[in-house]
Amino acid sequence: MKTIDLALLGFGNVGKTFARLLIEKKEELQRDFNFLPRITAIATQSHGVCINSDGIDEQALLSMLDKDDPIDLSFLDNSGFSGDTYEFIRQVPAQLLFETTPVNPRSGLPALDYLRAGAKRGLHLVTANKGPVVYGYRELTELTGQHGRLFRFESAVMDGAPIFSLFRGPLAGAQLHGFYGILNSCTNLLLDRMRNGETLEEAIVFGASIGITETDPSNDVDGWDAAIKVAALSNVLLGQNLTPMDVRPTGIRGITPQMIALAEAQGKRWKLVCQGGWKDNVFQVSVKPEMIGSDSPLYTVDGTSSYVSFELDVLPGLGILESNPSPKTTAFGLLSDLIDIAKSESR
Ligand X SMILES: NC(=O)c1ccc[n+]([C@@H]2O[C@H](COP(=O)([O-])OP(=O)(O)OC[C@H]3O[C@@H](n4cnc5c(N)ncnc54)[C@H](OP(=O)(O)O)[C@@H]3O)[C@@H](O)[C@H]2O)c1
Going by their DSSP bridges, the two strands 49-51 and 35-43 should be labelled as antiparallel
Report how far residue 196's alpha carbon sits from residue 183's, in angstroms, rounded to the nearest whole number: 21
Beta carbon nearer to ligand X, 131 or 251: 131
Beta carbon nearer to ligand X, 65 or 174: 65
Binder of ligand X out of 4, 6, 7, 14 (CB under 6 A): 14
Contact 279, 271 (CB under 8 A): no
Report how far residue 4's alpha carbon sits from residue 22's, in angstroms, rounded to the nearest whole number: 12
Q: Does 232 bind ligand X (CB under 6 A)?
A: no
- Minimal CB distance residue for ligand X: 12
Contact 51, 76 (CB under 8 A): no
Binder of ligand X out of 4, 15, 25, 176 (CB under 6 A): 15
271 in active site: no
Beta carbon nearer to ligand X, 102 or 316: 102
Report how far residue 109's alpha carbon sits from residue 86's, in angstroms, rounded to the nearest whole number: 13
Helix (H, G, I), strand (E, B) or coil at 323: coil
Report how far residue 82's alpha carbon sits from residue 153's, in angstroms, rounded to the nearest whole number: 29
Q: Does 13 bind ligand X (CB under 6 A)?
A: yes
Q: Does 46 bind ligand X (CB under 6 A)?
A: yes
Beta carbon nearer to ligand X, 73 or 292: 73
**CB of 325: closest distance to ligand X in angstroms?**
7
Closest to 151 measured CA to CA, from 117, 101, 103, 115: 115
Instruction: Return the beta strands (E) in 186-244 as ranges.
Output: none
Q: Name the segment binding ligand X (CB under 6 A); options: 21-29, 123-131, 201-209, 294-302.
A: 123-131
Q: Give the footprint of ligand X on residues 140-169 (CB under 6 A).
A: 155, 159
**CB of 330: closest distance to ligand X in angstroms?**
4
Helix (H, G, I), strand (E, B) or coil at 304: coil
Report how far residue 291's alpha carbon sits from residue 120's, in angstroms, rounded to the nearest whole number: 47
Q: What is the DSSP letter of 302?
A: -
Q: Does 129 bind ligand X (CB under 6 A)?
A: yes
Q: Does 103 bind ligand X (CB under 6 A)?
A: yes
Q: Does 330 bind ligand X (CB under 6 A)?
A: yes
Instruction: Point out which residues bind ligand X (CB under 6 A).
Output: 9-15, 43-47, 85, 100-103, 128-130, 155, 159, 327, 330
Active site residues: 229
